[in-house]
Chains A and B, each alone.
Chain A
Amino acid sequence: MTLLAASAAAAEPSCYSRLTNEWFCGQYVRDYQQEITDATIQHLGITIAAVVLGVLIAFPLALIARRLPRLETGILGTATAIYTIPSLALLPLMVPFTGISATTVVIALALYALTVLVRSMLEGLRSVPSGVRESARGMGYGATRLLFLVELPLALPVIMAGLRVATVSTVALTTVGSLVSYGGLGNLIKDGVTSNFRAELMTASILCVLIAVLFDVLIVFAQWLLTPWTRGVRA
């Protein structure tokens, strides 16, 4: 029985052998499960860290830009200028400061996310009707409570739209981190290219797109949970 199986395997080389080099190969996924899992975890970790860092930087910047219109042009202009720099060039520019590390990738990706995040936060906060703001003030809301209890919830749909765009592009961009060997699934894609390994390349790319879709769905769901008032209106 075992002999039969062995001879069958010998007659038919695995689908990821050099001879066949097929694009889709279940055998590869089984054999390299550990490697794929590790790359996926690194990918998720870098993406999440970058987006969270992006939000943490973008929020105060958006508040400053709203408070001081004089600085708004500067903040948005700088963020857009960073966005203009290709990812493959921004990573090396960070290296003298952060070295060859995951931090380099996370910071670079967070900087990219800034452009979309700051813009959407500004747009969102501006979309709050001034009447609502005034009534809240009239009810005795201070600046902080006004921001967190009235303005932010109302700005949420616009902010979340920006967060979706930022997150989905960050997932895709993480692959470029393979330049400094911290690219999550990008490392597998790069290896797939250099060793002409199609199954590895295809599997990693599909996982990338799946992660992007998954995050997108999660954010939409979170928004649905966070904004119960929008549901009643539509029904």
Chain B
Amino acid sequence: MDPGGAGVIVISDTWDYLTDPANWTGDDGMLHLLVQQLLLSFTALVVAALIGLPIALWLGHLGRGNLLAINVSNVGRAVPTFALLAFLVTADWPGTAEFGPYGRAGLATIIALTLFALPPIITNANVGIREVSPAVRQAADGMGMSGWQKFARVELPLAASLILLGLRLAVVQVWATATIAALVAGPGLGNVITEGFYRTNYGQGIAGAVVVAVVALVLEVLAALAQRVLDPNPRAPRTKRRRGMSAVPPMVTEAAEPPRP
């Protein structure tokens, strides 16, 4: 069989898998796994924001956190997601225990997802607050604002763009990591992919990949829209560079390091 022919067969297998309703319904169906993975991602994102934002914002308010912001993203980049997931699953705790609606190895997966959502959230929020210009801060002091007022009324609104960008990058990161969870027998849609590959049913594996990829793109577009709607700052006119209205606005350099898929 020539490689090209094999490719065509695999693609038709993929189509067959995607169009068979039996593969979508039921406890092992893709719909259930999809909801499970969305639930996992959402939970991890909320937990990461609850942990990361207060720390990053407070340090930013004090004008600190430069080292933290750099190190957190460096470490987050160098440690393979896969390795961390593997650790948590193999360790005595949390292991592969069922965890409520999150499925097998649910707790281990949520912990890993949360840890990998932290770097973009912390780095961007911290840099966002610290980059508020000193002149604006002095003006706030001059108006007699207390530390809290200065933070809530001046720094936070001005940093909102970067804070939101961090959250958006975390969404992409979390979804990608949640998919990888299947490599270590975790829950979620990645199972469709790994199962297909382990049983050399490539049509199924690719079908799972298509669903995961489409959802990833939809999430990214939704996150970008949310970012635009929630951002209180007027969009900075990018005079020097021409940018169209793409669904994925350009990332700010330095602070907005893209996550690791």
Contacts and interface: CB of A to CB of B under 8 A. Distances in A.
Contacts of A90: 209, 213, 261
A172 B78 contact: yes
Contact of B184 (A81, A97, A193): A193
Contacts of B209: 88-93
Interface string B244-255: 101110110100
Contact of B193 (A92, A116, A205): A92
A41 to B, nearest CB: 18
Nearest to B180: A88
Given A201-B90, A208-B83, A168 B202 contact: no
A214 B213 CA distance: 32
Interface stretch (B3-11, B58-66, B126-134): B3-11
B212 A86 contact: yes
B205 to A, nearest CB: 5
A196 B205 contact: no
Interface centre among B183, B217, B243, B261 (most CB of A within 10 A): B261
Contacts of A168: 74, 77-78
Interface in A84-141: 84-93, 95-97, 99, 112, 115-116, 119, 123
B248 A77 contact: yes
Given A80-B248, A193-B89, A186 B82 contact: yes
B97 to A, nearest CB: 14
Given A88-B212, A89-B193, A83 B241 contact: no
B80 interface: yes
Interface string A65-80: 0000110110011001
The residue in A86, A99, A116, A180 that gathers the most chain B C-beta atoms within 10 A of its C-beta is: A86
B90 A176 contact: no
B220 interface: yes
Interface in B161-177: 172, 175-177
B257 A86 contact: no
Contacts of B177: 86
Interface residues of B, number: 58
B196 interface: yes
Interface in B84-123: 86-87, 89-90
Contacts of B176: 86-88
A209 interface: yes
Nearest to A77: B246
A179 interface: yes
A85 B244 CA distance: 22
Given A96-B7, A189-B83, A179 B194 contact: yes
B188 to A, nearest CB: 10
Q: How large is the interface on A (under 10, 10 to 19, 20 to 34, 35 or more residues)?
A: 35 or more
B185 interface: yes
A165 interface: yes
B227 interface: no
Contacts of B202: 92, 95-96
B242 interface: yes
Contact of B80 (A88, A115, A186): A186
Nearest to B181: A88
A192 interface: yes
Contact of A208 (B80, B179, B182, B205): B80
Contacts of A205: 79-80, 83, 86-87
Nearest to A122: B241
Please give me the 10 A-B residue pairs with the lowest Cβ-Cβ distance, nearest first.
A86-B176, A92-B209, A205-B83, A89-B209, A89-B212, A96-B7, A212-B78, A172-B80, A86-B179, A73-B244
Given A116-B258, A171-B78, 19 more contacts: A76-B246, A77-B246, A81-B220, A85-B216, A89-B216, A92-B202, A92-B205, A99-B6, A165-B257, A172-B80, A172-B260, A176-B82, A176-B180, A178-B183, A179-B193, A186-B80, A189-B86, A198-B90, A201-B87
Interface of B: 3, 6-8, 10-11, 74, 77-83, 86-87, 89-90, 172, 175-177, 179-180, 182-185, 190, 193-194, 196-197, 202, 205-206, 208-210, 212-213, 216-217, 220, 241-244, 246-248, 250-251, 253, 257-258, 260-261
Interface of A: 69-70, 72-73, 76-77, 80-81, 83-93, 95-97, 99, 112, 115-116, 119, 123, 165, 168-169, 171-173, 175-176, 178-180, 186, 189-190, 192-193, 196, 198, 201-202, 204-205, 208-209, 212-213, 216
